Structure 1
């Protein structure tokens, strides 16, 4: 069992951050596994065509999607909620060939697919890896970044609320497969890796929009835990006719998205409609008693009431 140990000082300094690099890694792994599954969607098919003509990218993604120990150069802890991909890739490009090859060798030790690793012998390997992630971001993440960010910010808002009411123990519990294992430790993995000791800089919690996958990012004393965000990018499908037709597709879609609290601006991004449209629907839903707005500072978050939960269940089904 692998533990992340946090003393009182570390807990006080712990915080949330966003990472375009972690989101890109998550997305590329999901698409790579979709290719392996034999029924790739449009994005996975595009990735397959790319990998067919790029042995370096193919070998890299084959490894990171089939190991329990990610190479250090793809697991870089982000600094804040405004972390830029360019800054993360600059850190990645700073890895020497010797350091990059050493961390790949460690990753291969914990991989269930260990072939096709000749790519790591390329000169300037970390720079080539950065180029792969820059291309992956541009093709598969950046066009949808606003919606992805909205999902991750909703998760952080939820956990920040739990933190304010109940402390880090409850805010962290349920992050991926993480569970508390004592007064000063959380269980990160069932694997027998060395325990991680979080210092005075605290633990950085980083959501991603993939449905599975959690990992740590470490750089000296800085440690981040990347985990799947609550909620999903997939749009719930509204059942044609019935209650959904009665209240209208727009309001039904808003109810479906409010399985987790959200601001009007986040809903507009997630649904791809104007803020005015969302505000009008929310006003009607609020008057009907199916949603309620709660203020947090200058921001108002909307959530379903119990009546809203019942109404949403009658109007939707998962894709």
Structure 2
């Protein structure tokens, strides 16, 4: 059980990450690749595609991200990252002492590989190898589905942002996740791990919605790092055809342009930006926003000379339900159940076990 203790100041410092974090997504997806049993069922086909032709250069990264137990905190910058390159630069800038201490906690049941030993010593070739293996893994496993990742995270983030702004931090924390409960000024997360406490003490809490997060929220192992809680987002199974059905279903419900407008609002935009995203005139975009607003799917506010439109929680839930195939119209057949992924063969139980020693090249 994770317990996060808030002060009155911390409630005013609950904030959301700006968008999908490439380093969190990379690290969490690697843990799923390493875990054929515990992976989220809807990601089974994604995992099978990743494992099938995993490049050798990506294997050392999987050695650093075991499916369970300790995973080094330094693999994700504590302040977050907006793009892979700057995030990897921050990872490589980790002080040698901290890197060595965290790597010493990894795989304590067996000696460190030669490459990990050199990495703990801050050797430049090993650091270059770390950059190469993170980049190779991300390019193979995460980059091909990045638009799907970004869209799912933005939809989730829009709903949470609306709750945070309109209902306040306490209501947003109370509705955070089924495994989380809010009582008094303590957020309890039943994550199946030993009891531990994080006292925010005025530092606030950063919430990071994540596509590849497992079944329950996760955080850094070191409570001294910037308080961060990574939250699983809902999404349709990878590789099925729901994206096309979702677009068609939403179009039948709202009309093609209005459905496009609703999807364009997963991040707040001005009327002009909405017009550009939907290839319509500003007058038409304003009219579509007005109809969506009257339906309770959008809120609009004036910011100086501009009007900014944002999804409501109802609008975000409609998008999420559509993406999961739960919005069905009379003109559209009910989607057939998606078969469960075929279990991976026993030989694949630990991809990381095949990691060869030596600096990845």
What TM-score, normalized to structure 2?
0.62
In structure 2, the partner of 1:120 is 116
Report the structure, 1 or 2, having the larger strand content: 1
1:87-146: CA deviations, max 9, x gaps? 32222112355533421333436xxxx568424223445553343222223333334434
In structure 2, the partner of 1:68 is 69
Q: How does 1:158-307 map to 2 (within 5 A)?
A: 158-176=159-177, 178-180=179-181, 182-188=183-189, 189-210=191-212, 212-213=214-215, 214-217=217-220, 220-232=224-236, 234=238, 236=242, 251-252=251-252, 262-264=262-264, 266=266, 275-276=278-279, 292-295=297-300, 298-301=308-311, 303=315
CA-based RMSD? 4.5
Shift of 1:164: 2.5
Q: Secondary structure at the match of 2:28?
A: helix
CA distance in 2, matches of 1:311, 1:179: 25
Number of residues of Structure 1 aligned to a counterpart in Structure 2: 288
1:92 aligns with 2:91: yes
In structure 2, the partner of 1:270 is none
CA distance in 2, matches of 1:116, 1:23: 28
Shift of 1:206: 0.5
Q: Which runs of 5+ in 1 are unaligned?
A: 268-273
Given that residues 11 and 168 in structure 1 are in contact (C-alpha distance below 8 angstroms), is that contact kept between their aligned partners in structure 2? yes
1:66-99: CA deviations, max 9, x gaps? 22332111243235xx733333222211235553
Shift of 1:262: 4.6
Given that residues 264 and 278 in structure 2 are in contact (C-alpha distance below 8 angstroms), is that contact kept between their aligned partners in structure 1? yes
Q: Which runs of 5+ in 2 are unaligned?
A: 268-276, 303-307, 339-361
CA distance in 1, matches of 2:118, 2:52: 22
In structure 2, the partner of 1:23 is 25
Shift of 1:276: 4.1
Given that residues 199 and 221 in structure 1 are in contact (C-alpha distance below 8 angstroms), is that contact kept between their aligned partners in structure 2? no
CA distance in 2, matches of 1:170, 1:275: 33
Shift of 1:163: 1.7
Distance 1:292 1:191, change over 3 A: closer
Distance 1:71 1:115, change over 3 A: same
Moved more, 161-170 or 16-25: 161-170
Given that residues 20 and 85 in structure 1 are in contact (C-alpha distance below 8 angstroms), is that contact kept between their aligned partners in structure 2? yes
Shift of 1:205: 0.4
Moved more, 197-206 or 228-237: 228-237
Q: Secondary structure at the match of 1:90?
A: helix
Q: Secondary structure at the match of 1:226?
A: strand
Given that residues 30 and 65 in structure 2 are in contact (C-alpha distance below 8 angstroms), is that contact kept between their aligned partners in structure 1? no
